[in-house]
Homo-oligomer: A and B are copies of this chain.
Amino acid sequence: MDIIEHLAAIPLFSGLSREDLDDLVPVVQYKTYQRGERIFAEGDEGTGFYVVISGRVKVYKLSFEGKEQILHMFEPGAPFGEAPVFAGKAFPANAEALEESVLLYFSRNAFIERINKNPSLSLNMLAILSERLHTFTRLIEDLSLKETPGRLAAYLLYLSERQGALDNLELGISKTQLASILGTIPETLSRIFSKMTKQGLIDSDGHGRFRILNRLMLERLAAGEVRFSQSGSHTEE
Q: Give chain A's interface residues, CB within 8 Å of chain B.
A: 61-65, 67, 69, 71, 82-89, 92-93, 112, 115-117, 119, 122-123, 125-127, 129-134, 136-141, 143-146, 183, 223-225
Contact = CB atoms under 8 A, between A and B. Distances in A.
A82 to B, nearest CB: 7
Contact of A87 (B65, B89, B92, B127): B127
A62 B140 CA distance: 11
Given A61-B141, A65-B224, A122-B126, A133 B136 contact: yes
Total copies of this chain within the assembly? 2
Nearest to A117: B119
Given A86-B130, A126-B125, A131-B87, A146 B63 contact: yes
Given A129-B126, A224-B63, A225-B64, A137 B93 contact: yes
Contacts of A132: 133
Given A115-B122, A122-B122, A123-B115, A69 B140 contact: yes
Contact of A122 (B71, B83, B123, B146): B123
Contact of A137 (B61, B82, B183): B61
Nearest to A125: B126
